[in-house]
Amino acid sequence: MTVDMSQFYEVFFEEAAEHLASMESLLLKLDIHAPDPDELNAVFRAAHSIKGGSGTFGFTDMTGVTHILENLLDKIRKGELALRQEMIDVFLEAGDVLKGQLDAHRSGGAGVDEATVEHVCAVLAKMAGEDAAPVAAPPPNVTPKQGRSRFHLAFKRVAKAKLENLLRELAGNGDLKVQEESGNENLSIMLDTALSESDLLEMIQYVVSLKQVVLATGEIDPAEFAREAFGFFEGNPGAPEAPPVAEEGDGFGLFVSPAELKSQQEADEGFGLFDDAPGMEQIKQVAAAAPSKPLAAAPAKTVTPATANAEGASIRVSVEKVDQLINLVGELVITQAMLAQTTANVDPALYEVLLNSVSQLERNTRDLQESVMSIRMMPISFVFSRFPRVVRDVATKLGKQVELRTIGEGTELDKGLIEKIADPLTHLVRNSLDHGIETPEKRIAAGKNPKGTLTLRASHQGGNIVIEVSDDGGGLSRERILAKAKEKGIPVSDSITDQEVWLLIFAPGFSTAEVVTDVSGRGVGMDVVKRNIEGMGGRVELDSKTGTGTRVTIRLPLTLAILDGMSVAVGDEIFIIPLNYIIESLQPAEHDVKTVASDGRVVNVRGEYLPLVALHGLFNIRPKTRDPSKGILVIIESDGAKAALLVDELVGQHQVVIKSLETNFRKVRGISAATIMGDGKVALILDMVALVRMSRNLS
């Protein structure tokens, strides 16, 4: 039966993407003058793993690039070549090429331009002192070793069709003769090639992982083969003093100990042991020392013991399954709230056991809810990790020296927010690099360090995550912003506060850039950033000081699935106000409420007049009272502006499970979502941003 390799593609795609991200991160941290040997080895291993996996699945375009990349990295880590800045540049370009090729195989897209691939490969080969290999059909495992060797590969009970990829690669690397023994599925291969032992073993290792066990004999050193086959982990490159023991999750801990096999027949099938093969006793000894473990179906990879332990303690689960679990837990929370409300009026003396059980259910439900929500929580380092490359490339293009600092990378937030926050943060970072941080000449003239600093900081504050993007650049110019606002016809006064001036840059099409570049200057971006942040239930704040720098602060809820809210009553209806927008609640005196033009009203709160928004008027509800002095005012703040919402009463504070109103009904002005209360009724969650904007028109 032929093994369908496509079933393992997704595993390879995910692992290759992780290796590429790791490789880029390590390259950006390398000290050109004194590179860390461990970091160089880690970069080499990442390229090596991608090469092996891509060769196994027949992605020869990726194999060709990684082969040339690996050769250059190998010479650098062995000290044969000195690391230079231009090498880092071309390594990063090669990483971009591999990302493009990986995306093409994953999504079936057009892939990377062939001229770009050839250029990168030619530069890599030139740096390594080699001629660039043809990119269209690269020899996947050729090494510069001189001379040829003859190898004998013996496969036991395996169909030739199962080895198509391997045979195709072997045929491209030498003279190959394949003989199938009659009456069974044994295969005998003779290969005359310039391949080294290590390259040959690299090619056959994935055959083993697919339960097609191979024995190599001939001119391969048996001790070398044993160590390579069974000890695929980091260690002394010399022969080990004792047989290596495979760690859990090792790239090549894929053999089952003969002592634990049920029969000699299984031993023959599991190892393809030919007793007359040279060095067989040494291989048997090493195999016997390896612990029993299941055969891996995914491509093997070289990992450190620490990484192996981490992988052994985690599993890959699709986002759809996690979302389904979160939805079910949300329904359980609603059901628990219904039970709690139903039992709230029973006699505690008669139903003590029932009430205790409901209380226990409430505690367990809350714990379950928090545990399930934590599954979707991811460290913000998934976003921060992309910016070292962005900062490096943009700063180089602008001729600036910039140091990136990241603080709080372990701060967690919902995966949905992780995906949505990346683009706004990228725009803010590029803005800081282009408009904020000055050129080295200007910084020196201002008495600053020629190298600017861009800081990304994340932290938890209450039920929110706070992300800051700050720089020590020239800051915003109040005069330039006001002049630009007047030029665009925005009504402004010279007496407005600095905070109000800074908010002008969020106006659509607003830009103070004198020259439009490919980095920024078109006036498109900051308004989109603000709109996207508010769409996630967050808000953005800006603070700047001329000559000192600028700080943009983003406040977001930890998750998009559950929020802490205050339930308020208006007539017979219940509305939910997100807690992070509420400043205070109060009952005003009658003389504090003033009527302005038309039917608009404002309320005096400690000397500050705020627009008064009557919810019953917005949603056409019959309230219990229309007099603000007999109702409750909830003071909210959004978008740097405040408003007072008139409600009948405050019902309580609690967590609510967010349900999309637009998906289940339609979009309603002033409403962001809905939830189900304990009594089974639907309560609407108010859209604070929309209500504040509406209040400006009402006041």
3-state helix, strand, coil in the chain (%, to 5): 45, 20, 35
Residues in CB range of 471: below 8 A, 6 or more apart: 432, 436, 437, 452, 453, 454, 455, 549, 550
CATH 1.20.120.160 correct for 5-128: yes
Statement: residue 289 has pLDDT above 80: no
CA distance 633 to 566: 13
Sign of CA dihedral 253, 259, 261, 263: positive
CA distance 524 to 519: 11
Across 573-595, average pLDDT: 89
Q: DSSP character for 401?
A: E
| pLDDT given at position 156 | 59
Statement: residue 185 has pLDDT above 70: no
CB-based burial of residue 399 (10 Å sphere; 0-12 exposed, 13-18 middle, 19+ buried)? exposed
Q: Model confidence at 455, in pLDDT bands (50, 70, 90)? A: very high
Answer for the pair 667, 652: CB distance below 8 angstroms, yes or no.
no
What is the β-pairing status of strands 641-647 and 608-614? parallel
Could you give the dihedral angle defined by the CA atoms of residues 110, 111, 116 and 118, in that order, rounded to the nearest 10 degrees? Answer: -110
Residues in CB range of 342: below 8 A, 6 or more apart: none
| pLDDT given at position 212 | 44
| pLDDT given at position 462 | 63
pLDDT tens sequence across 513-525: 655 555 554 445 6
Q: Which residue has the tokens 């609510």?
A: 656
Q: Model confidence at 581, in pLDDT bands (50, 70, 90)? A: confident
Looking at per-residue pLDDT, the higher value among 404 and 54 belongs to 404
What is the β-pairing status of strands 682-686 and 573-578? parallel
pLDDT tens sequence across 232-282: 333 333 333 333 333 333 333 333 333 333 333 333 443 333 344 444 444
* 54-68, 94-108, 454-468, 513-527: the lowest-pLDDT one: 513-527
Statement: residue 541 has pLDDT above 60: yes
The fraction of the chain above a pLDDT of 70, given in percent, is 71
| pLDDT given at position 451 | 92
Three-state SS string over 39-59 comes to HHHHHHHHHHHHHHHHHHCCC
* 50-59, 143-152, 216-225: the lowest-pLDDT one: 216-225
* 17-26, 148-157, 390-399, 558-567: the lowest-pLDDT one: 148-157
What is the β-pairing status of strands 573-578 and 608-614? unpaired
Statement: residue 139 has pLDDT above 50: no
Q: Model confidence at 204, in pLDDT bands (50, 70, 90)? A: low
Residue spans of the domains in the chain: they are 5-128, 149-312, 319-376, 379-557, 562-698
pLDDT tens sequence across 348-364: 888 889 999 998 998 89
b (16+ CB within 10 A) / e for 271-290: bbbbeebebbebbbebbeeb
Across 479-498, average pLDDT: 82
Q: What is the mean pLDDT of the chain?
A: 74
| pLDDT given at position 228 | 41
Looking at per-residue pLDDT, the higher value among 331 and 308 belongs to 331
The residue among 456, 459, 457, 438 whose CA lies nearest residue 447 is 438
b (16+ CB within 10 A) / e for 120-155: bbbbbbebbeeebbebeebbbbbbeeeeebebbbbb
259, 375, 412, 417, 425 from 458: Cα distances, Å: 53, 20, 9, 14, 12
> Which runs of consecutive H residues, i.e. helices, occur in 505-555?
526-535
Across 672-683, average pLDDT: 82
CA distance 530 to 537: 11
| pLDDT given at position 6 | 63
At the second CATH level, the architecture of 562-698 is Beta Barrel (2.40)
- Greatest mean pLDDT range, 287-301, 344-358, 529-543, 596-610: 344-358
Q: DSSP character for 632?
A: E
Three-state SS string over 275-322 comes to CCCCCHHHHHHHHHHCCCCCCCCCCCCCCCHHHHHHHHCCCCCCHHHH
Looking at per-residue pLDDT, the higher value among 449 and 254 belongs to 449
Answer for the pair 299, 52: CB distance below 8 angstroms, yes or no.
yes
φ, ψ at 456 (rounded to 5°): -110, 125
Across 166-182, average pLDDT: 72
The residue among 598, 577, 590 whose CA lies nearest residue 697 is 598
pLDDT tens sequence across 74-121: 888 888 888 888 898 889 988 888 988 888 888 776 677 888 888 888
pLDDT tens sequence across 601-626: 889 998 888 989 889 888 889 999 88
SS3 call for 481: helix
Report the CATH number of the 379-557 domain: 3.30.565.10
5-128 and 379-557 in the same fold = no
Across 436-459, average pLDDT: 92
Across 204-232, average pLDDT: 45
327, 364, 578, 661, 672 from 666: Cα distances, Å: 20, 34, 21, 6, 11
| pLDDT given at position 184 | 56
| pLDDT given at position 440 | 92
Q: Model confidence at 307, in pLDDT bands (50, 70, 90)? A: very low
The residue among 540, 453, 548 whose CA lies nearest residue 499 is 540
Q: Model confidence at 165, in pLDDT bands (50, 70, 90)? A: low
Domain 319-376 class in CATH: mainly alpha
Active site residues: 48, 70, 431
Statement: residue 365 has pLDDT above 60: yes
- pTM attached to this predicted model: 0.56
Q: What is the largest CA-CA distance in the chain?
A: 105
Statement: residue 24 has pLDDT above 70: yes
